[in-house]
Structure 1
Amino acid sequence: IQPPTIICYICGREFGTKSISIHEPQCLKKWHNENNLLPKELRRPEPKKTEVRTIGAKGYYDLDAINEAAWTSAQNQLVPCDNCGRTFLPDRLVVHQRSCKPKTAK
């Protein structure tokens, strides 16, 4: 049995239950640094961590619900390309747009 993992609400990567608390502040700091380097029109609002729900009298965390909310939050960070509609992180969108050309009508 694999140990439980938690998805980072910022980047969408999986981490162990102990290391996620170390990762998230570093990931958010990196997010701010990268977001500040983007052109103003590509800057996004800071991702917000969703509330943790508990189940039962013992107050266990619902990891599936936490991970689903975190995955959705991470996916909301993606920006669509105006030409092809594919989604990218904003810093990668800039690179993609250099080679993505609008389709010409035949």
Structure 2
Amino acid sequence: MALRSTKYNIEPTMVRHPPTIVCYICGREYGTKSISIHEPQCLKKWHNENNLLPKELRRPEPKKPEVRTITAKGFYDLDALTEAAWTSAQSQLVPCNICGRTFLPDRLIVHQRSCKPKAAK
């Protein structure tokens, strides 16, 4: 909330942020205008990174979620679209076979270098 100041009083004004959509590939938020530019580039980057992974860590290509994004009043249901995209992005994570934490496959390789099983008491 921003404050608007006049000589005699200070009254709060609401700052409206533009609506955002979550990328179904990487899970980051983008504006409604830029998501269509981002997604093809993100998918290309995803393919490049996936091809560099060992065969056991390679994943199938993420599919864009099929969500009914138009409500009865003709508006986009951004909440449903965001939720489906977030779920899709989270499904790309791979669990560590030692501690169970989830990572993107390229980060899992780095994590596993230092992950040690807990010592038995």
TM-score (norm 1): 0.95
**Pairwise CA RMSD of aligned residues?**
0.9
In the alignment, which of 66, 72, 76 is matched to residue 56 of structure 1? 72
**Structure with larger RCO (C-alpha < 8 A, sep 6+):** 1
In the alignment, which of 35, 42, 51 is matched to residue 36 of structure 1? 51
Instruction: Quote the residue 2:29 is aligned against.
Output: 14
Instruction: Quote the residue 1:46 is aligned against.
Output: 61
Alpha-carbon shift at residue 57 of structure 1 (Å): 4.5
Q: Secondary structure at the match of 1:61?
A: coil
What do residues 8-54 of structure 1 show as CA deviations (whole Å, max 9, x unaligned)? 00000000000000000000000000000000100011111012411
Instruction: Quote the residue 1:92 is aligned against.
Output: 107
State whether residues 9 and 73 of structure 1, in contact with CA within 8 Å, keep that contact through their aligned partners in structure 2: yes
State whether residues 25 and 43 of structure 2, in contact with CA within 8 Å, keep that contact through their aligned partners in structure 1: yes
Question: Higher helix fraction: Structure 1 or Structure 2?
Answer: 1
Alpha-carbon shift at residue 99 of structure 1 (Å): 0.3
Q: What is the percent sequence identity of the aligned residues?
A: 83
Where does structure 1 differ by over 2 angstroms across 4 or more consecutive aligned residues?
none
Larger Rg: 2
Any unmatched runs of 5+ in structure 1? Answer: none
TM-score (norm 2): 0.84
Alpha-carbon shift at residue 104 of structure 1 (Å): 2.5
CA distance in 1, matches of 2:50, 2:118: 29
